[in-house]
Amino acid sequence: MQIHLIAVGNKMPDWVLQGYNEYAKRMPRECELVLKEIAPDKRRSGDIARITKEEGERMLTAVPPRAHVVTLDIPGKPWTTADLSKALQRWLGNGQPVALMVGGPEGLSQQVRDIAQESWSLSPLTFPHPLVRVIVAEQIYRAWSLMNNHPYHR
C-alpha cells in the first residue's frame, strides 16, 4: 500500500526535504510514503476562490484510483497517535492507496473536501505548510512504529 501525501507547494527549503525524507525512508515497502507536490497558483490576482478551485482540481488529478482520501484540515477530527495508528491499520487492511490532502495557504477547495472519506486535524493551530509535510511524515512513521511495537514510539 502507498500513502500519497498530496500537498500544494513546491520549491521547499532543504530542511523540509531532509525532514520529510528522513521519515519517509524509514517506512517499510508495504506502507510506502510518497510525496506528490502540486504547483501553487500565483496569488497576485487576488481571486482566491478561483486559485483554490484550480489547485484543488490539480490535487484531484494526483489522487490514485480507488484511493481512500483524507483531508488535513483544521475543522477535521483531532487524532491522538493511537488513533492514527488504528487508522493506519484500517487503511492497510483495506488494501487501497491512501491520499492525504494538504491545501495551499487558503486551505482546501470544496471539491477536495467533498470527496474525502475522512478529515484529520493536526491541531487547532495553523502551521506553516512546509512544516506540515515533516509533521505528517513523522506522525505516520510514529503510528506505524506503535502498530508494530517498534521502540521508536516509546
Q: Please enumerate, by residue number, every residue annotated as part of a binding site for S-adenosyl-L-methionine.
A: 72, 103, 122-127
Sheet containing 2-8: which strands, arranged edge to edge?
32-38, 2-8, 98-102, 68-78, 118-121
Annotated binding site: 72, 103, 122-127
Q: For residue 105, what are the CA distances in angstroms to 7, 26, 81, 85?
A: 11, 29, 26, 28
* E-only strand ranges, the chain: 2-8, 32-38, 68-78, 98-102, 118-121
